[in-house]
Amino acid sequence: MPRRWGILGGTFDPVHLGHLRIAEEASEALGFDCFLFIPAADPPHKPNKQITSFEHRWQMLEMALSNNPKFQLSDLEQKAFGKSYTVVTLTRLLETFSEETDLYFLVGMDSFLELDTWWHYRELFKLARIVVVQRPGYPEQKMEEFLRQKISADYKRDDETGVFTHPYLLPIHPMENTYMGISSTQIRRLVSEGRSIRYLVPDDVMSYISLNNHYKAETR
């Protein structure tokens, strides 16, 4: 059983090269044994919003991950009943792994600063090390302020490693990355406008989107 897992969740509607590059850079920087992509089945942050079916999003992810043996795909949230809450997902993952397994949950800085809107968000800091992927316009100071105001004033930054540690909660790892400026929203919009998405998604995913006429009548 691999001992160090990177975790990336999301709707992946569709998966794009930005997702893959973040996973690759995090795996290299933090020495993950495996990296797990977990597509949401019923994301609580997107109510009343049309989302491509889980089956299609799964197929696109399978294509995108197929040539990297370290990348794996989980249907854990699709099998679960109800909303796809991250706390529940991480708890179930830990139940299936050995006690020696460490989970590293990746989240963009923009989303990290909204964690206090997530269901039982404080529990996240007991379940997984959180890797905060930097975003333009979001200085690390904002993350430090959020940690101390919303989570615990006992989080301290290690000046040598940059990691935030706590007496009993799990560490927080800020991570620099190659910012590609790609979003799934942008890709859906381009398709709806009849414009090219080449070099934004893997070629197989681009062909799949075209073959299945996804996002043609994009109104999201």
> Quick check: is 154 in a domain?
yes
- Picking from 51, 37, 126, the residue whose alpha carbon sits closest to that of residue 83 is 51
Tell whether 218 is covered by a domain.
no
Hunting for tokens 């797990």 — which residue is that?
A: 36
Q: What is the CATH number of the domain that holds 93?
A: 3.40.50.620
Taking the C-alpha atoms of residue 201 and residue 47, their distance in angstroms, rounded to an integer, is 26
pTM for the structure as a whole: 0.92
Residue 48 has pLDDT above 60, yes or no: no
| 144, part of any domain | yes
In a domain, 150, yes or no: yes
**Ramachandran sector of residue 195 (left: φ over 0; alpha: ψ -120 to 50; beta: rest):** beta
- Note the Cα 7 to chain centre separation in Å: 7
pLDDT attached to residue 216:
87
CB-based burial label for 123 (10 Å; 0-12, 13-18, 19+): middle
Contact 17, 188 (CB under 8 A): no
Q: Which has the minimum average pLDDT: 16-25, 134-143, 170-179? A: 134-143
Total count of domains within the chain: 1
Residue 189, in any domain of the structure: no
CA-CA distance, 63 to 192, in Å (whole number)? 22
Q: Is the residue at 188 inside a domain? A: no
| Domain encompassing residue 41 | 4-181
Average pLDDT over the chain, rounded to an integer = 92
Is the pLDDT confidence value at 183 over 90? Answer: yes
At 69-117, the pLDDT tens digits run 999 999 988 877 677 789 999 999 999 887 789 999 999 999 999 999 9
pLDDT in tens, 133-153: 998 888 889 999 999 999 999
